[in-house]
Amino acid sequence: MEEDNELKLLEQRKLAEMKRRITTSTAPKAPKEEKTPRQLVEEKLYDRGDEVLDAAYSFFPAQTGKIVEELADMIRAGKLPDKVSGGELYAVFREIGLRFNLKTSIRVQDRGKLVDLSEKLKRKEEG
């Protein structure tokens, strides 16, 4: 009789464990966090694209936000499968009429180091 009670107790434990496993496996999972339009666009950028986007936001925040939303919609729809370079993104802003300056520098190799072109020209004039 004692064995019957132990067997029933063991069956109840296993049954409770199986129920717990079923409820956890079928429980609704937490929804995936939706990426913001800016995050979607930033994932597609390369070659100074992030710098162009930051500069655009600093000069034209409202207009850039709308453009980023449109680009994100294009990415979600699969109309923009390739990566976008910084130059291409800058061209988009210029085509729309949003013109802004980017900090640029030309660097050349001088004596095994990369130096700004202006610095190299100063050395040339001095020496």
- pLDDT tens string 97-113: 888 888 877 888 888 88
Range of the domain at 95: 35-127
Q: What is the pLDDT of residue 29?
A: 60
Residue 112 lies in a domain: yes
Question: What is the dihedral sign for C-alpha 41, 44, 49, 50?
Answer: positive
Residue 4, classed as helix, strand or coil, is helix
Please identify every stretch of the chain with a pLDDT value under 50, giving residue numbers as ranges: none
Residue 68 lies in a domain: yes
Closest CA to 108 of 119, 98, 99: 119
pTM higher than 0.75: no
Residue 40 lies in a domain: yes
Q: What is the pLDDT of residue 27?
A: 56
Residue 108 lies in a domain: yes
Residue 95 lies in a domain: yes
Residue 22 lies in a domain: no
Rg value, the chain, Cα: 30
The total number of structural domains in the chain stands at 1
Residue 11 lies in a domain: no
Residue 86 lies in a domain: yes
Q: What angle do CA 97, 98, 101 make, to 5 degrees?
A: 130
* Residue 97 DSSP symbol: T
